[in-house]
Amino acid sequence: MTKLTTNDAGEFVRGGNRFDARITADGSSTWPAEPGRYRLVVSLACPWASRAVLVRRLLGLEDAISLAVADPIQDERSWRFTLDSEGRDPILGIEFLAEAYAAADPGYDGGVSVPAVVDVPTGQVVTNDYPRITLDFSTEWRAHHRSGAPDLYPEAWRDEIDEVNELVFRDVNNGVYRAGFASSQEAYERAYRELFERLDWLTSRLAARRYLVGDHITEADIRLFTTLVRFDPVYHGHFKCNREKLAENPVLWAYARDLYQTPGFAGTVNFDHIKRHYYQVLHQLNPSRIVPAGPDLSGWTEPHGREALGGTPFGDGTPPPDVSALP
């Protein structure tokens, strides 16, 4: 659960990631990239976790790293495995993700976040460092990628990807939270302004190019997509990011639909989990816990026309073979 922490100016302050160990190809970090050893714990409601689900699927790491999907509705102990038989994760044998955090640090009393990569033999969280998890999937797990996996973090483009990611994180990925969780009018209006200034910048950037960096999908597109796909169902109304809907921005709406319709993307999106989590868990913002009936989601499958801008989704790679929906 995102903790609603604000500073004296009423600005939302996102906490850091307590567990930041690296899982590396050569094992020099003490955590080797070993197929079958780790379990990725996610919520399909969470944009940060959805990045990891999507990258895992595009790279074909399903057989190397197993997946646990938490209930989108949390209680006081945060993420729970009530979607599984008897309310326990079948691999880790725990009822709450907090138990894996405690296994790693018995004295830990901070927030319990997803995504988290858990070491199955010890039951300990290895990392909840969501920006690094997906980059390591692309680089440190390369030996276990499927044949034809795309390069989501090409070495030649990394500086530009990192630069774009930093701007998008500050103003968009985290910007919607800065607006929604602000506790003063001034902090809200500042976050609102910076969010839409960055969306205007993204609109200009994407008007004549299909993807954010280079000529195929990269980590930058994935990080933006998981926020855009939640924009109209949640952030526009619930977080008061209401200058315009995504569906009212022709460029970004077409861009988001292009990605959604790319093999591998739509199956990782669960609008039911997204809406129920935000509207029923963040009851500080929605005391009634009523989940809105809208918006109409049928437009996500309408033609987008962005093929005319060139590029191909996976570059020299191929689509993932399994594009079915997750639980």
Q: Give the list of residues 6+ apart from residue 280 with CB closer than 8 angstroms, or none.
A: 73, 286, 289, 291
Beta strands 124-127 and 116-119, pairing class: antiparallel
How far is it, in rounded angstroms, from Cα 79 to Cα 100? 11
- Are 138 and 222 in contact by the 8 Å Cβ rule? The answer is no
Q: What is the DSSP letter of 117?
A: E
How far is it, in rounded angstroms, from Cα 208 to Cα 203? 9
Q: How is residue 164 written in tokens?
A: 């774009």
Q: 227 in helix, strand or coil?
A: helix
Is 79 a known ligand-binding residue? yes
The 10 Å Cβ neighbour count of residue 265 is 25
Considering the candidates 46, 188, 192, 255, report the single residue annotated as catalytic: 46
In the residue annotation, 101 being an active-site residue is answered as no
Vertex 207: Cα angle to 205 and 210 (nearest 5) = 85
Q: Characterise 48 by phi-psi region: left (phi > 0), alpha (psi -120 to 50), beta (else).
A: alpha
Q: What is the DSSP letter of 290?
A: P
Considering the candidates 101, 130, 153, 177, report the single residue annotated as catalytic: 177
In what side-by-side order are the strands of the sheet with 124-127?
Answer: 66-69, 38-42, 116-119, 124-127
How far is it, in rounded angstroms, from Cα 88 to Cα 94? 5
How far is it, in rounded angstroms, from Cα 6 to Cα 21? 27
How far is it, in rounded angstroms, from Cα 48 to Cα 42? 9
In the residue annotation, 260 being an active-site residue is answered as no
Known binding-site residues for glutathione equal 79
Could you tell me which residues are annotated as the binding site? 79
The residues carrying an active-site annotation are 46, 177
